[in-house]
């Protein structure tokens, strides 16, 4: 595989939201990185794998300060956080952000040569990939509000996929940035710190949320009807990723 540049692609929405993607990471793994323009500062929801500098990409989108919110502590969502000064997430996962390993970031089994359509830099070896430490500089929990000056995002603590999984809900636009709590695909509930019973409770809670648009941590955005379909499918025993090793093997 050849080194490819540019590594990132930016898809701009009409509401001050941009989707940043690591376009040479396999579609089945690639995290959605969401950039939201605010009056006082901008928000970056998740930061991808950190394979190439992300901050310089953000500079092309804004001159305002940027706060990173990590929806949870898995490798594909926190890899670029170390580049930014303000890093927020749930307290239950603070130790992972401060001392990431292959095991506690759920990296093992996912990152291999086949994960990439091109390499991020000369000499890159997939097996050497590690998340860089990026201790949280502040904590977010249920009921907190992230105030951008002109936009307000309420924090929902929705554990199950991981203990500290959070989502950000903008009531004014009925928009949910859901991380890996829900996205338009098979949900992953067999991570080392997943709790299936708690996950079911979190998804049941989402069913009553008044929402128009869901921007997930993976795959395409979707609406409320699709959200209910995914939740009902999961609660019925479908829409689950299952054994991760077998699942990854099927993607290759």
Q: The domain that contains 93 carries what CATH number?
A: 3.60.15.10
Please give the mean pLDDT across all residues of the chain.
93
> pLDDT per residue over 86-115, tens digit each?
999 999 999 999 999 999 999 988 888 888
> pLDDT per residue over 186-237, tens digit each?
999 999 999 999 999 999 999 999 999 999 999 999 999 999 999 999 999 9
The answer to whether residue 2 is domain-embedded is no
Q: Is the model's pLDDT at 41 over the cut of 60? A: yes
Q: How would you class 5 by CB atoms within 10 Å of its CB: exposed for 0-12, middle for 13-18, buried for 19 or more?
A: exposed
- Specify the pLDDT at position 202: 98
Q: Which two tokens stand for residue 53?
A: 């500098």
Structural domain tally of the chain? Answer: 1
The answer to whether residue 166 is domain-embedded is yes
Cα(219)–Cα(125) distance, rounded to whole angstroms?
26
The answer to whether residue 3 is domain-embedded is no
> pLDDT per residue over 149-199, tens digit each?
999 999 999 999 999 999 999 999 999 999 999 999 999 999 999 999 999
The answer to whether residue 106 is domain-embedded is yes
Helices (H), 55-173: 55-59, 75-78, 94-98
- Specify the pLDDT at position 239: 80
Q: Supply the pTM of this predicted model.
A: 0.95
The answer to whether residue 1 is domain-embedded is no
Cα(143)–Cα(146) distance, rounded to whole angstroms?
10
| SS3 state at 47 | coil
Q: What is the domain extent for residue 79?
A: 8-251
Q: Which is more confidently placed, 202 or 61?
A: 202
């Amino acid at each position: 595989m050849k080194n490819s540049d540019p590594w990132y692609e930016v898809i701009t929405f009409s509401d001050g939201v941009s989707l940043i993607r690591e376009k040479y990471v396999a579609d089945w793994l690639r995290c959605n990185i969401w950039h939201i323009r605010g009056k006082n500062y901008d928000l970056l929801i998740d930061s991808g794998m950190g394979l190439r500098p992300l901050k310089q990409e953000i500079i092309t989108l804004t001159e305002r300060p940027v706060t990173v919110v990590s929806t949870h502590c898995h490798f594909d969502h926190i890899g670029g956080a170390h580049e930014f000064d303000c890093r927020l997430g749930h307290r239950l996962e603070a130790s992972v952000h401060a001392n990431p390993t292959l095991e506690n970031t759920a990296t093992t089994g996912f990152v291999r040569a086949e994960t990439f359509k091109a390499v991020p830099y000369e000499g890159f070896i997939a097996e050497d990939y590690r998340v860089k430490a990026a201790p949280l500089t502040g904590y977010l929990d249920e009921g907190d509000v992230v105030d951008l000056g002109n936009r307000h995002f309420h924090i929902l603590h929705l554990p199950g996929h991981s203990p500290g999984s959070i989502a950000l809900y903008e009531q004014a636009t009925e928009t949910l940035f859901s991380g890996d709590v829900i996205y338009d695909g098979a949900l992953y509930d067999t991570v080392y710190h997943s709790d299936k019973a708690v996950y079911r409770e979190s998804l049941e809670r989402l069913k009553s949320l008044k929402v128009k648009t869901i921007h997930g941590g993976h795959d395409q955005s979707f609406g409320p009807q699709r959200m209910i379909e995914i939740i009902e499918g999961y609660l019925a025993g479908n829409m689950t990723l299952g054994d991760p090793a077998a699942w990854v093997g099927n993607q290759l």
